[in-house]
């Protein structure tokens, strides 16, 4: 890579990271406190809603983030909800105590739904989201596919959710699974736009994690094929498997977006594996000009 190309990639990455989010689990008090100290005011923090975890836990975590000046984006998982009433009470608490206006709406991976809902589309159809002040939703997408759902079903489900959200007057954004091959992200973004889907895409990446944990989560989430790219690209492999967020991965994606803005890649979402502070620190460092750039501009 030439020095000029590296500088272009660094600039593109800093631009892409002007919008990023990190993920925490609702019960992780340490991480909730840590991100409040590191993140800039208004940064989105996605709050996972784990199976068998009561709505009160999710609401408290979202409220803590809001009071710290951050923007909580709770996961609302269809298969975790016991009833429509539970859904309403969760939304009322999120709105009243945390002023939530955006949520990640998911179907969920548990085999047996806790109640009457088993898909994100059903939650959108209820109309309860907008009734409780949620005006924007994020939905998951899978550039590399899903281990248990066919590609055709995934595409149709994505279209159905986006159409339903549009009819309900909800703004939408896409958040991808995490992966390691930048070409898959670019190819997927082009496919979205060719299909007439205009929702902005926030690309999911793995934050710092030890090698064993990272591979375990990758295989569980269906990105095993993407791991193969690590065997072919030594620098990327060392960055990822040593536990550092991959500069090369995001740099290539950022440069592709800079060259072709029609891709609509509008930020990064970090899957943090219990340590969101490390992802936040790394992202903030990349948003700053390099020492050489700063000296050149002095």
The answer to whether residue 292 is domain-embedded is no
pLDDT computed for residue 181 by the predictor: 86
The answer to whether residue 296 is domain-embedded is no
The structure's pTM equals: 0.88
Helix 276-286, helix 29-38: angle, nearest 10: 10
The answer to whether residue 56 is domain-embedded is yes
The angle subtended at Cα 180 by Cα 174 and Cα 185, nearest 5°, is: 40
pLDDT computed for residue 216 by the predictor: 60
The answer to whether residue 145 is domain-embedded is yes
Profile the chain (298 residues) by mean pLDDT over runs of 10 residues. 83 95 94 94 95 93 98 97 97 98 94 94 98 97 86 95 98 92 94 97 83 58 50 48 65 96 97 88 81 43
The answer to whether residue 295 is domain-embedded is no
The angle subtended at Cα 64 by Cα 62 and Cα 68, nearest 5°, is: 115
Q: What's the total number of domains in the chain?
A: 1
What is the extent of the structural domain holding 259? 3-287
Extract the tokens encoding 104. Answer: 């990640």
The answer to whether residue 293 is domain-embedded is no
Residue with tokens 């159809």: 125
The answer to whether residue 297 is domain-embedded is no
The answer to whether residue 193 is domain-embedded is yes
Q: What is the CATH number of the domain that holds 154?
A: 3.20.20.220
- Exposure string over 178-193, b if 16+ CB within 10 A, otherwise e: bbbbbebbbebbeebe
């Amino acid at each position: 890579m030439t020095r000029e190309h590296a500088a272009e990639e660094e600039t593109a990455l800093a631009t892409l990271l002007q919008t990023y989010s990190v993920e925490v689990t609702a019960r992780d008090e340490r991480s909730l406190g840590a991100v409040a100290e590191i993140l800039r005011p208004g940064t989105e923090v996605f709050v996972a809603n784990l199976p068998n975890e009561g709505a009160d836990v999710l609401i408290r975590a979202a409220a803590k983030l809001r009071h710290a000046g951050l923007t909580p984006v709770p996961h609302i998982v269809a298969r975790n909800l016991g009833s429509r009433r539970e859904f309403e009470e969760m939304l009322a608490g999120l709105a009243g105590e945390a002023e939530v206006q955006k949520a990640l709406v998911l179907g969920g991976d548990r085999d047996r739904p806790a109640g009457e809902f088993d898909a994100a589309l059903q939650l959108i159809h209820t109309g309860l989201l907008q009734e409780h002040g949620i005006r924007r939703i994020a939905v998951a997408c899978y550039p590399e596919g899903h281990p248990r759902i066919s590609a055709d079903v995934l595409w149709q489900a994505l279209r159905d959710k986006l159409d339903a959200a549009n009819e309900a007057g909800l703004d939408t954004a896409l958040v991808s699974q995490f992966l390691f091959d930048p070409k898959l992200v670019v190819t997927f973004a082009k496919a979205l736009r060719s299909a007439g889907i205009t929702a902005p895409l926030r690309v999911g990446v793995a934050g710092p994690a030890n090698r064993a944990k990272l591979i375990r989560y990758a295989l569980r989430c269906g990105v095993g094929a993407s791991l193969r790219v690590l065997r072919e690209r030594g620098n990327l492999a060392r960055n990822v498997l040593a536990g550092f967020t991959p500069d090369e991965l995001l740099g290539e994606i950022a440069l592709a977006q800079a060259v072709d803005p029609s891709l609509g890649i509008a930020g990064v979402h970090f899957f943090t594996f219990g340590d969101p502070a490390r992802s936040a620190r790394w992202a903030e460092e990349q948003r700053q000009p390099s020492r050489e750039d700063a000296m050149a501009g002095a």
